[in-house]
Structure 1
Amino acid sequence: MKRTLLLALAATSALAVAASAQESTSSRTLEKLEGFKSAGTAEPPPVAQTGRRADAIARNLTKIKLPAGFKISLFAIVPDARQMAIGPSAGVIFVGTRKTKVYVVTDRDKDRVADEVKEFVPGIAFKVPNGVCFSKDGILYIAEQNRILGFPAAEFFYENPDVAAAVVVKQGDLIPVDEESFNHTARYCRIGPDNKLYVTLGEPFNVPTKDKIDLYNKVGMAGIVRMDQTGANREIFASGVRNSVGLDFSPVDRTLWFTDNQVDGMGDDQPPGELNHAISPGQNFGFPWFGGGTVRTVEYKDETPPRGVVPPVVELPPHAADLGMTFYTARMFPAKYRGGIFTAEHGSWNRSRPVGARIMFIPVRADGTAGPAEPFAEGWLSPDNEYFGRPVDVAVMQDGSMLVSDDSVGAIYRIDYSDE
């Protein structure tokens, strides 16, 4: 027993030393890339796109139900695929994960199937690089658990394992280091119509204790922050947001819409998830006084909520975990879907009978109000409660088709439409 314990301690110590060495190497690599110098990084092999795994994923996609005229296919195998960012010039796709890597996906021959999937900047040790987003002029931003990096012209220099980089928010400055956690650390980012960088900052608790509220209000946790693309002039755009992992801007009035995940442990059927609409900066969306919708949390039921709390514009299925979202602004899909919102339901994790694992559609009317959510693509959750996949994000390609990421299967799917 004693020998086993000593061996375990030795292994843990070795892992810590290795992790420290990797972090040190990563820091040196980043310094060189900031100075437009090569770090001599070796390029890992690309991710295999064919074989037994790809065939199995394709077979499982036959279970997915879609409206008439739509079809779904395997676009790429991408381990742990989360938020996607499609380059504004060449349509190269960058994919964040909740682990340590970011991937780049290319379809050079434009046959609507990926030709190559490989690591992006493999010399940098990322930490939960979930958030990836592009500026209009082609700068790729990667929002990690506690850092934001920028990569100018990433779409054109990704072939090299060493890519020019810039630190937008240095490590430890996005949130207080003491608030780092394994829970609710997946940031989501977008560049707004004001050319500012918007980043979601989930807080680590199911419901935070009251002594945390002032700190979170100060730094923007349990909210959404925005800043210049240089990282300057940071401000809290929205508060009272438990854990948003999806946002987009209306193509009509350029206001911000975002999903939010509700409090756990209040029963299978409450509280609801949320689709929210922020029409101006400084609005409060109710958490932790409300666990979702108008349902009060046990911990704050005797506390007076802030004045002017904004309720969700659409209440979503409880515990379905709506994450990524996008307005559909292309023309491939029928008119019904144009201007509406697609969201990715990741699926419940602690409900007695699972729900979710679907792509939902929410119509947005001309006056800016939204209709109820309806299933668009479903079948990743079997009648026997087995997950065949867990959608995370949705993105619209240049041809109008839609990509869906799945971190459980480790894949990206493509949904297109034809009326023939």
Structure 2
Amino acid sequence: VARGLTMPVGVAFRDGDLYVSEPRDILVLRGIEDRLDDPPAPVVAVSGLPWRAGDHGWKFIAFGPDGKLYVPIGAPCNICDVGHRFGKLMRMNPDGTGREDVAWGIRNSVGLTWHDPGHDPGHDLGQDLGQSLGQPGRFVLWFTDNGRDLMGDDVPSDELNRLDHAGESFGYPYCHQGDVPDPVFGRLHACAEFTPPVLKLGAHVAALGLRFYDGAMFPHEYRGALLIAEHGSWDRSRLAGYRVMTVRFGADGRVASYAPLLDGFQQDQIPWGRPVDVQPLADGSVLVSDDLAGAIYRVTYDGAARGAR
């Protein structure tokens, strides 16, 4: 539906319009569903997003339950003191007005989602989020963050984070995975000053898109579980990630298990696929995008065969 874009990564749909992110701007294709045979030309809806040549310039985007457009702004480096211009989560109106920062200390988030605390495993821990972020109800915002490189195979871990109220900071560049001071910047702030992750996902797994599963096709234990796409490592002596994981929660709202839903995207240390995002559908199946194979898979569950396929 569009060509000639610059590093398009995030897509979001609202009121018949398709929003597509570029490093500096967010484009919109108005009324796209009514014009699939003759797509409208993209126009700039949001301009002047923070950007600097370097790493993590791509922009994931998503509309929140408050109608605002949320945009993570990655740090333009592996490790650097970025101040408040980078390494944060912003939100704004769909036309780019009313911009505000809602979280800091985020190195490189390429996935965020919300869930209704009425059946959210974290509802007892995040009841004030809706009010503090101006959202209707008490929706809870969850996001992944990719840890820094060049500290070894096993440190630091990527993170699953939950934003309980506006203004939280998650540690970057001073503290990683909630308990590992940075060797350069860690002397400036203690890890205790920051919000720790809900779950350490593993070093260099490159956790990206995530969604809660509320469908009925998969077994009952998947209801309310969080699915996370792990794009996979590039800087480990042995590959890590390259899978889609399931986070299940206990009755107390805390993480009970972290296990694969889909695995095997690499064989003998040679990857053939790299999961990017997940999207449960109304029928209970799950879409998984893969930017190495250039494919979108639909995962279903056959109770008779007792497994996903």
Q: For residue 249 of structure 1, what is the aligned residue in structure 2?
A: 114
Assess, with a 3 A threshold, how the Cα gap between structure 1 residues 335 and 194 changes in structure 2: closer, same or farther: same
CA distance in 1, matches of 2:245, 2:97: 36
Q: Is 1:148 matched up with 2:20?
A: no
Q: For residue 71 of structure 1, what is the aligned residue in structure 2?
A: none
Q: For residue 224 of structure 2, what is the aligned residue in structure 1?
A: 339
CA distance in 2, matches of 1:307, 1:292: 12
CA distance in 1, matches of 2:88, 2:286: 28
CA distance in 2, matches of 1:241, 1:365: 27
Q: For residue 264 of structure 2, what is the aligned residue in structure 1?
A: 379
Cα shift at 1:154: 1.6
Q: Is 1:228 matched up with 2:93?
A: yes
Counterpart residue identity of residue 285, structure 1: F
Cα shift at 1:281: 1.1
Q: For residue 409 of structure 1, what is the aligned residue in structure 2?
A: 293
Assess, with a 3 A threshold, how the Cα gap between structure 1 residues 153 and 331 changes in structure 2: closer, same or farther: farther
Q: For residue 167 of structure 1, what is the aligned residue in structure 2?
A: 44
Of residues 368-377 and 236-245 in structure 1, the stretch that sits farther from structure 2 once superposed is: 368-377
Count of aligned pairs: 284
Q: Percent identity?
A: 41
CA distance in 1, matches of 2:239, 2:286: 25
CA distance in 1, matches of 2:252, 2:96: 34
CA distance in 1, matches of 2:192, 2:101: 17
Cα shift at 1:364: 3.2
Question: What's the secondary structure of 2:38's corresponding residue?
Answer: coil
Question: What's the secondary structure of 2:256's corresponding residue?
Answer: coil
CA distance in 1, matches of 2:190, 2:69: 29
Residues 236-315 of structure 1: pairs in structure 2 closer than 5 A: 236-252=101-117, 253-305=138-190, 308-315=193-200
- Asked whether the equivalents of residues 181 and 187 of structure 2 are also in contact (C-alpha less than 8 Å), the reply is no
Cα-Cα RMSD: 1.7
Q: Which has the higher contact order (CA 8 A, sep 6+)?
A: 1
Which structure 2 segments of 5+ residues have no match? 118-137, 305-309
CA distance in 2, matches of 1:196, 1:401: 28
Q: Is 1:134 matched up with 2:13?
A: yes
Counterpart residue identity of residue 156, structure 1: D
CA distance in 2, matches of 1:165, 1:347: 32
Higher-Rg member (1/2): 1
- Asked whether the equivalents of residues 273 and 293 of structure 1 are also in contact (C-alpha less than 8 Å), the reply is no
Q: For residue 185 of structure 1, what is the aligned residue in structure 2?
A: 57
Q: For residue 398 of structure 1, what is the aligned residue in structure 2?
A: 282
- Asked whether the equivalents of residues 149 and 169 of structure 1 are also in contact (C-alpha less than 8 Å), the reply is yes
Q: For residue 88 of structure 1, what is the aligned residue in structure 2?
A: none
Question: What's the secondary structure of 1:155's corresponding residue?
Answer: helix
Higher helix share: 1
Cα shift at 1:244: 0.4
CA distance in 2, matches of 1:165, 1:410: 23
Counterpart residue identity of residue 129, structure 1: P
CA distance in 2, matches of 1:308, 1:283: 10
Cα shift at 1:286: 0.5
Q: Under a length normalisation based on structure 1, what TM-score does the superposition of the two structures give? A: 0.65
Assess, with a 3 A threshold, how the Cα gap between structure 1 residues 191 and 359 changes in structure 2: closer, same or farther: same
Q: Is 1:195 matched up with 2:67?
A: yes
Cα shift at 1:166: 4.1
